[in-house]
Amino acid sequence: MIEVTNCVICEKPITRLKKALVAPFVAARTWNRKPFCVDLVKCEGCGFMFYNPRLDDDDLRNLYRGYRSEEFQKMRFATEPWYTPSFNYEIASPESYRERRELLAPILKKNLGGRPVKRILEYGGDRGDLAAGLLEGADAFSYDISGTAVAPGVTAAPDAAACRADLILNSNVLEHVGFPRVLVTEILKAAPVGGLIFLEVTAELPFGAYRLTRRIAQIGIMALARPRMARYVLRPAALYMMHMHINYFSEKSLKVLMQCCGGEVLATGTYPFGSRAGKADMAWCIARKI
């Protein structure tokens, strides 16, 4: 883990908001230790909220090894009784991806400004399911360091830059990374000059009524169904628990992120999205490499 003293997006000063408990599953899988506390902080400039210290590359590799595999699901279920095999499947089911494409396609068509898109590269998109069939007539490619086999209709891209994609798509990834600027800078490097980049993140707040209500329910379930966890989760820090989303974006902070990395922002926005995993607004940003 890496302690930071400034915002990892805009480098402005940060303020500590709350003590937050690292989720039992995350603590065990990433560091093989019992739950412990970190700080929830907020940037005084762009408003970005995140947990500090930050997860480094080794931490992320440990946490995401075999992501959503049978072993991953069983380990998570050991502390989170709601994370059943069917829940694990439905998060990334064909139906879920179809719903997401139906929401994204109109946003892209409206905000691409008539620019032709013949190649879509899903950067960090696992199998590339979201890019497949997203825009009519566009070939879908996937670049992911996991080496996961791509979905039907998707071509694996061993080199993201060589793909020469007209549109690079990065969805539901930036919430999980310790240093978002590093990833967005890599995406911009992979894009050709004039190429388009679409970033999409969950725009949730750690203090939102829905989130806190859900967290209280989860804490109760964990304490009752997994009594050995009770002494860790029955405390105020558990309300702001750090799970696999380690960043809290807004439309503003996502825009600032792209600008700080050198991209020309063309449009931003939000839309509501609900799934088995919960409901939240999604924030998005379309930019051009200059």
Instruction: Tell me the β-bridge partners of 267.
Output: 286
**pLDDT confidence of residue 145:** 72
What confidence tens digit (pLDDT) does each residue in 179-196 have? 999 999 999 999 999 999
Q: Is pLDDT of 29 > 90?
A: yes
Measured CA to CA, the distance from residue 62 to residue 11 in angstroms comes to: 27
Strand order in the sheet with 49-52: 14-21, 37-43, 49-52, 247-248
- What string of DSSP letters covers 179-216? -HHHHHHHHHHHSPTT-EEEEEEEE--TT-HHHHHHHH
**In the chain, domain spans:** 14-91+205-244, 94-201+251-288
**pLDDT confidence of residue 42:** 97
**pLDDT confidence of residue 97:** 87
Residue 42: strand, helix, or coil: strand
Determine whether 133 is exposed, middle or buried from the number of CB atoms within 10 Å of its CB (0-12, 13-18, 19+).
Answer: middle
Q: Is pLDDT of 277 > 60?
A: no
Residue 107: strand, helix, or coil: helix
* CATH label, 94-201+251-288, candidates 3.40.50.2300, 3.40.50.150, 3.40.190.10, 3.40.50.300: 3.40.50.150
Q: What amino acid is encoded at 158 in this protein?
A: P
**pLDDT confidence of residue 68:** 84
What confidence tens digit (pLDDT) does each residue in 72-123 have? 999 999 999 999 999 988 888 888 888 889 999 999 989 987 888 999 999 9
Residues 6 or more apart whose Cβ sits within 8 Å of residue 55: 1, 30, 63, 177, 178, 246
> In 3D, which of 141, 106, 146 has the Cα closest to residue 126?
146
pTM of the model: 0.91
Contact 16, 41 (CB under 8 A): yes
Tokens found for residue 17: 């908001």
Distance of CA 82 to the CA centre of its chain: 21
